[in-house]
């Protein structure tokens, strides 16, 4: 095996030409595809990170809004309970006032009925007394007539015992 300079020079030139051609035809397009792919992956990662940041911001905003809604709901419920209690107290007070006025009217009506019954009883007793006196005046009284008159009077008026 001899070392031939021309063969070596030919091999070096051949190698350089092949490296130049491979570099232009193969390496640069492959590197360009790989760079494009890397840029696309980086863009997707950046978009995913931005979406994640936006989702976290939305979640925090949603959480704050939910807290506000809970507070508002609690306030509304407290106002409704307070209004209900006030309404209940008003209704109870009105019912008590109505019941008291009804009781007062009933007492007054009973008192009037009682007075009316007393007046009727007085007038009936007076009529009976007048009738009894009239009978006494018309008759001469003997002891047995007197007893008979008393029995009739008791029978007409009714026995109080």
Q: What is the pLDDT of residue 1?
A: 54
List, as one string, the DSSP characters of 107-146. HHHHHHHHHHHHHHHHHHHHHHHHHHHHHHHHS---HHHH
Determine the Cα–Cα distance for residues 88 and 82; give it in Å rounded to an integer. Answer: 10
Q: What is the mean pLDDT of the chain?
A: 86
Using an 8 Å Cβ cutoff, are 152 and 134 in contact? no
Tell me, yes or no, whether 36 lies in a domain. Answer: yes
56-80 per-position pLDDT tens digit: 999 999 999 999 999 999 999 999 9
Burial 45-83 (b: 16+ CB within 10 A, else e): eeeeeeeeeeeeeeeeeeeeeeeeeeeeeeeeeeeeeee
- What total of structural domains would you count in the chain? 1
Per the domain annotation, does 21 fall within a domain? no
Distance CA 125, CA 101 (A): 36
Low-confidence stretches of the chain (pLDDT < 70) are: 1-2, 126, 130, 134, 136-143, 145-146, 158-161
The boundaries of the domain holding residue 101 are: 29-157
Would 49 be classed as within a structural domain? yes
Q: How many CB atoms lie within 10 A of CB 124?
A: 11
pLDDT per residue over 106-124, tens digit each?
999 999 999 998 888 877 7
Does residue 12 lie in a domain region?
A: no
């Amino acid at each position: 095996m001899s070392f031939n300079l021309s063969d070596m020079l030919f091999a070096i030139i051949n190698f350089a030409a092949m490296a130049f051609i491979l570099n232009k035809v193969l390496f640069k397009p492959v590197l360009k595809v790989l760079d494009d792919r890397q840029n696309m992956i980086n863009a997707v990662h950046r978009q995913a990170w931005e979406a994640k940041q936006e989702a976290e911001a939305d979640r925090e905003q949603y959480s704050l809004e939910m807290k506000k809604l809970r507070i508002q709901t609690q306030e509304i419920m407290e106002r409704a309970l307070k209004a209900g209690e006030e309404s209940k107290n008003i209704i109870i007070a009105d019912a008590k006032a109505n019941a008291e006025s009804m009781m007062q009217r009933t007492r007054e009506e009973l008192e009037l009925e009682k007075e009316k019954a007393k007046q009727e009883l007085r007038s009936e007793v007076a009529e009976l007394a007048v009738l009894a006196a009239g009978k006494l005046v018309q008759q001469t009284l003997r002891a047995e007539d007197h007893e008979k008159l008393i029995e009739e009077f008791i029978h007409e008026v009714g026995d109080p015992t």
